[in-house]
Amino acid sequence: MPAEIPFQFDSLLTEARTEEKAGNWRQAAEIYEHMGERYQNQLWMKLQAAGALFKAGDFGRSAELASWINQRRPTVDTLLLEARLKRRQKDFKSALALLKGAEDILAGNVSSDIKMSTIVNKYCKSV
Amino acid sequence: MSEEKLSTTDTEQDVPVEQHNSTQHYEVMMELGDCLTSVGKYDEAQRHYEKSASLSPDAAGPYVGLGVVALQKNKLEDADIAFRVACRLDPKCARAYAGLAMISQQQAHYSQAFKMYLKCLELESDNLTALLGLFQTSCQMGSFEKIIHYLLVYLGMHPGDTSVMFALAALYMKDGRVAESREILHNILALEPGHKDATNLLEEVERGIVRRKQAEVCGK
């Protein structure tokens, strides 16, 4: 029933955070991904899942999710996360472009609505 | 080396917005500093570490970064000051002790370097920089007592690391423990059949074993 949905969502969110607190990052990520698919709040849930997967050491999937978010609505957290993953792969040029994008958001020069391609195009030339 | 922090899940839940923004700003500055250091842009990296230090004055990380930059520029005194500040801010900062050890090693103060590498490994037993530094310092001092233990601890966590396996094989050989040395060298060659140093050392070990057996026969 539709009225139950908020409670189901809250219950799952609590479950995911409990898993995180217990250090079960992979399980937490699975719950977040499931919530994203089921409750249509993919940006938030994918961000949570990407963070949990990073801590679980699943850098490949974490990078996929961070990149997915940054293509749509980059935030400082997701840009920082993707930059860390790029640095881990020794792709310093992309990491620096992402970090400059994060720096601009923090400085208020760029709205987080701007697409990632704009940020990367803007900075790749200067790196 | 150090545990990487991630702000996405942690900060959103409990931390006030202003503090979250400040933490984010600090983390972005630190990450920029680290990336710029990796690509050799030391002056820019230094500026970002200085900014990080102003955003989070009690954090050791920016001073470690400044120490690394100074070390790369061969400004040993500046590096020494930066690493000492990092140690004072965080007495458990393994990277700062590794930095101090590298400075001592460069100044040929091997005993001090050895102590600092040990201190680093006590805090972070899989710190590869410290482990290899300790190995080099041991070779420079001619003393191998403690290093074998740390190499074994590291290999317990990273069993396929052939560079550390090779160092251990070399130490076993110097210590006269040829059977253990030979076993490790065989393991290295199973993992990396083209490992030339391991092939050469294995030949040397095998010759040593033959010589020893001949000597035993002659003795009888």
Asked if the Cβ–Cβ distance from B6 to A95 is below 8 Å, we say no
Q: Per-residue pLDDT for B121 more than 90? A: no
Mean pLDDT (chain A, rounded): 85
User: Is the CB of A87 less than 8 angstroms away from the CB of B35?
Assistant: yes
Per-residue pLDDT band for B29 (boundaries 50, 70, 90) equals very high
Res B151 pLDDT > 80: yes
- Would you kindly state where each structural domain of chain A is located, as residue ranges? 1-57, 59-127
pLDDT in tens, A66-115: 999 999 989 899 999 999 999 999 999 999 999 999 999 998 866 555 55
> How confident is the model over B96-112, as pLDDT tens digits?
999 999 999 999 999 89
Interval B71-77 mean pLDDT: 96
CA-based nearest residue to B116, from B86, B159, B158, B73? B86
Decide if pLDDT at B184 tops 90.
yes
In sequence order, what are the residues at sequence separation of 6 or more whose Cβ sits closer than 8 angstroms to the Cβ of residue A6? none
A20 touches chain B (CB under 8 A): yes
Q: How many residue pairs from chains A and B have C-beta atoms closer than 8 A?
A: 61
Give B210 to chain A, closest Cα distance, Å. Answer: 46
- Note whether residue B4 is domain-resident: yes
Among candidate residues B121, B126, B188, the one with its CA nearest the CA of residue B157: B126
Q: What is the pLDDT of residue B11?
A: 42
Residue with the bigger pLDDT between A7 and A61: it is A61
Is 0.90 topped by the overall pTM? no
What are the CA-CA distances from residue A33 to residues A2, A13, A52, A57, B6 (Å)? 20, 11, 10, 16, 18
pLDDT higher than 50, residue B4: no
A50–B contact, CB cutoff 8 A: yes
A99, A103, A106, A110: best to mutate for the B interface, most B CBs within 10 A: A99
Mutate to test the interface with B, among A77, A98, A106, A126 (most CBs of B within 10 A): A77
Residue B8: its pLDDT value, please? 41
Interchain contact, B35 vs A76, CB within 8 Å = no
Res B16: pLDDT: 65
Cα–Cα distances in Å, from A56 out to A33, A45, A49, B130? 14, 16, 10, 26
A74 at interface of B, judged by CB pairs closer than 8 A: no
What dihedral angle (degrees, nearest 10) is formed by the CA atoms of A61, B22, B85, B33? Answer: 50
Q: What mean pLDDT is predicted for residues B112-132?
A: 89
* pLDDT, mean over chain B: 87
How many structural domains compose chain B?
1
A77-105 burial string, b = 16+ CB within 10 Å, else e? bbbbbbbbbbbeeeebebbbbbbbbbbbb
pLDDT above 70 for B12: no
Give the per-residue pLDDT at B181.
93
Tell me how close the Cα of A27 comes to any Cα of chain B, in angstroms: 14
Chain B residues touching residue A44 (CB < 8 angstroms)? none
Residue type for position B117: Y
Does pLDDT of B186 surpass 50? yes
Q: What is the ipTM, given to two decimal places?
A: 0.72
Q: From CA A21, how far away is CA B9, in angstroms rounded?
A: 11
Q: State residue B202's pLDDT score.
A: 93
Contact A99 B32 (CB under 8 A): yes
Mean pLDDT of A31-40: 89
Range of the domain at B39: 1-91
Per residue in A48-66, pLDDT (tens digit) is 999 999 999 999 999 999 9
Contact B24 A106 (CB under 8 A): yes
Report yes or no: B165 and B155 within 8 Å, Cβ to Cβ: yes
The reported pLDDT for the residue numbered A15 is 95
| CATH code of residue B70 | 1.25.40.10
**Average pLDDT of the segment spanning B34-44:** 96
Q: CB of A66 within 8 Å of any CB in chain B?
A: no
A55 at interface of B, judged by CB pairs closer than 8 A: yes
